[in-house]
Amino acid sequence: MATCRYGGCSETARSDSAWCILHLDFPKEDDPEFTRIRDEKQLKTKEKIKGDDLNFEGTNIYSVDASDLSISAQNNAIFKNATIKGRVKFERTKIEKDASFEGAKIEKNASFAGAEIGGKARFEEAEIGGDATFAGVEIEGEAWFKRAKIGGYATFAGAQIGGDVRFEETEIGGDAWFGGAEIGGDAWFGGAEIGGDAWFRGAQIAGDARFEEAEIAGDARFEEAEIAGDARFEAAKIGGEACFEGAEIGGTLNLV
């Protein structure tokens, strides 16, 4: 039997298509076949996750729930360029290596609350239609969200991130919450657009906090934050207050 046309996919192609069930496009929701195709995709998605196979690169799937699972050191969680019509849940999941979602399109919410990621979290140019919840996440490497689009809020409250946090040119429709987060490198938000507040109260940043040319519709709150390097806001636009009361900045604070 033929294998799926998608490069690198070893799944068997459907008898009526060159694609496997996971790479097959969804029919329109008013199509009589939609429910059957959705259910087949869900069954195969759960089967792969149960088998410790988290390679969903380029797939078209309905939703993902890998909460409370432990992903082995041999496997990354790969959802690069995947399209997910529903929500994504990796709450309290342990991923020994990377979580790769570059270019993925998630139509609803994505939650990694309390997850442990042993490598990097890669979401460059990803699109999340709802909220992005990473509260309490532990990421040993870097967290990259450059040029991502998040329709709702993004919360990393209480997160522990070993490397840089990169949100250059990222669009966040609501608040960006990093209160109490620990960032082992720089926090890059140059050119980012935040539709609500930017909350970094009590955050600890081992490097610089870079917000050059960022646009923050609400407040920029850095009370009691600890920034080992510079805090740079040159050419940034802040619609509300910029508050650094009680903050400790090891380098320079540039607001103009």
Query: Total structural domains in the chain?
Result: 1
Q: Which long-range contacts (CB under 8 A, 24 or more apart) does 120-126 make?
A: 120/144, 120/163, 122/98, 123/148, 124/148, 126/101, 126/102
Question: Is residue 12 one of the residues assigned to a domain?
Answer: no
Question: Is residue 28 one of the residues assigned to a domain?
Answer: no
Question: Is residue 236 one of the residues assigned to a domain?
Answer: yes
Q: What is the pLDDT of residue 256?
A: 72
Q: What is the pLDDT of residue 73?
A: 62
Q: What is the pLDDT of residue 71?
A: 86
Helices (H), the chain: 34-50
Question: Is residue 107 one of the residues assigned to a domain?
Answer: yes
Question: Is residue 49 one of the residues assigned to a domain?
Answer: no
Question: pLDDT tens digit string along 139-171?
Answer: 999 999 999 999 999 999 999 999 999 999 999
Question: pLDDT tens digit string along 66-123?
Answer: 999 998 766 789 999 999 999 999 999 999 999 999 999 999 999 999 999 999 999 9
The stretch 215-226 carries a mean pLDDT of 98
Question: pLDDT tens digit string along 168-219?
Answer: 999 999 999 999 999 999 999 999 999 999 999 999 999 999 999 999 999 9
Question: Is residue 211 one of the residues assigned to a domain?
Answer: yes
Domain residues for the domain of 87 are 61-254
The stretch 40-48 carries a mean pLDDT of 97
Question: Is residue 21 one of the residues assigned to a domain?
Answer: no
Question: Is residue 53 one of the residues assigned to a domain?
Answer: no
